Amino acid sequence: MEIKYTSDGKKVAIVGKLNAQETIVQEIFVIGEAELPSGENFVVKSLHDAPVISWKEKELKRLDERYESEKRDLDNKIRAINDSYKNSYAKMRAVIEYNAEVIKNINPAMFDHLIMWICGEIKYFVEEGYSPKIMEYDGFFKSDYYGGKYDSMQLLSIFGNSKGDFKYRVNDYSDGSGNYHTIVTPFRNYTDAFEYFKSIIQTSEINDHIYAQAKKHKIKLDGDKVKKYKSNLIATHTKSIENHLKDIERYKAIIKDIEKK
């Protein structure tokens, strides 16, 4: 069976010659896994030894591939432009919202603190949070320890997550690494720093650190809060004693079992 291909891409088997210009053929179909001639015979004038496509089809295919390629490139560029626009929009919105908060919360103390930083007038800090502390400037901001000495200052952020109130958040180290959640408030003298520190101690929920700082600095705490703190502490230690007693009894039983063996 001689196989040829028509100009429109059909695979055919030669049946016979009709004349010098025309050939009788039968199209080949796939039946199951086999290729077999099937259907009516028909006459063609042009046959080829391999599948062919016209110049027009080839050019259309090339143009289609080029279109898809350029479309992907344009889509990627548009996506990148949109991402850049969204990022710029988000940054601008954050700045505008922050400035709006600054205007809403503005007060002279905010700028007074900033002047203290710039002019080097800070003598004391109050560190807020779970473990508030009052400390001198030199004892707080020297942090990086190299070659047997402290030679750097911790990185300080004025803005960050604040709502326009110029909260100062300090990192553990000068390169910005470590904890970034510690809020500090600067003061020129100990009296003002202590009054602020005292207000934090007296208004915070009492924990071990708050209680220790209150005793150290002779700060009077709310009686009901102290009572609640001690009651919770006693309950915690009582529970620990009960658990230890249970462990002791369990170990005694284990020892008895060993002695019986």
pLDDT in tens, 75-92: 999 999 999 999 888 888
Confidence of residue 148 (pLDDT cuts 50, 70, 90): very low
Tell me how far CA of residue 108 lies from CA of 68, 158, 159, 239, 242, in angstroms. 61, 16, 17, 51, 56
Going by the DSSP 8-state scheme, the letter that residue 174 receives in this structure is: T
pLDDT tens profile 36-68: 888 889 999 989 888 887 777 788 888 889 999
Residue of higher predicted confidence among 114 and 134: 134
Q: What is the pTM of this model?
A: 0.50
Edge-first strand listing for the sheet containing 156-157: 133-136, 124-127, 182-187, 168-170, 156-157
For 221, other C-beta atoms within 10 Å of its C-beta total 16
Domain boundary assignment for the chain: 3-48, 54-105, 109-221, 222-261
Spatial separation of the C-alpha atoms in residues 20 and 71, rounded to whole Å? 50
